[in-house]
Amino acid sequence: MTNLLVLGIGNLLMNDDAVGVLAVKHLHKMYGDSENFRILDGGTLGLDLLPHIEWSEKLIIIDAIDIGVSAGTVVRIEGEDIDPVFETKLSPHQMGIKDLLLTADLMGYRPGNIVLFGIQSKNIQMEMELSPEVEDNFDKLLYEVEKEIKLSKIKSEQELI
């Protein structure tokens, strides 16, 4: 079976930047971890996440993003299209994710299948609440990630047949 890692990124102290961490906390209650499936609060760890990236064959990243669309918009980005998203530095941890993926690539263990579920942020301040736009679309973000998880598990099980 394929090793699937769901990685939530962000800082709980910085409004919308917390969305990735909040999402994985919710998902972990629903799914838990298993031998080939992990849900991880990556916070702002950056390169410290390298062993987890090395373990994974498929990586789902959940994060607040800034790609110039309406606040609260949920997007699914995959493959090489992910790297440019982290060029726009929304918060300090995003340089860490850019470096993490580049380092994994240079070391030869960047997962072949990476999907980013991002939600356009509105407010990244030192406060501890999501903007109304992000809060209103949080369930949509979770729904899209859950669909990806279920699809990945089905494909992984079919590989065994």
At residue 100, the pLDDT reads 87
Does the residue 139 lie in any domain? yes
At residue 160, the pLDDT reads 65
Ranges 32-36, 50-54, 83-87, 115-119: which has the least confidence: 83-87
CATH of the domain at 53: 3.40.50.1450
At residue 47, the pLDDT reads 84
Does the residue 149 lie in any domain? yes
Does the residue 161 lie in any domain? no
Tally of domains in the chain: 1
pLDDT tens string 11-61: 888 889 999 999 999 999 988 888 999 999 998 787 889 999 999 999 999
Q: Where are the alpha helices (DSSP H) in the chain?
A: 19-31, 50-55, 82-85, 92-106, 132-160
pTM, 2 dp: 0.90
The pLDDT of 66-92, averaged and rounded, is 83
Q: What radius of gyration do the chain's Cα atoms show? A: 15
The CB density around residue 2, as the number of other CB atoms within 10 Å, is 18
Beta strand 58-65 with 37-43 is unpaired
Provide the sign of the torsion angle of the four alpha carbons 51, 52, 53, 55, taken in this order. positive
- Amino acid occupying residue 86: F
Distance CA 153, CA 159 (A): 10
* Closest C-alpha among 144, 161, 159 to residue 6: 144
At residue 54, the pLDDT reads 95
Q: How confident is the model at residue 92 (pLDDT cuts 50, 70, 90)?
A: low
Domain containing 114: what range? Answer: 4-156
Q: Are 4 and 31 in contact (CB under 8 A)?
A: no
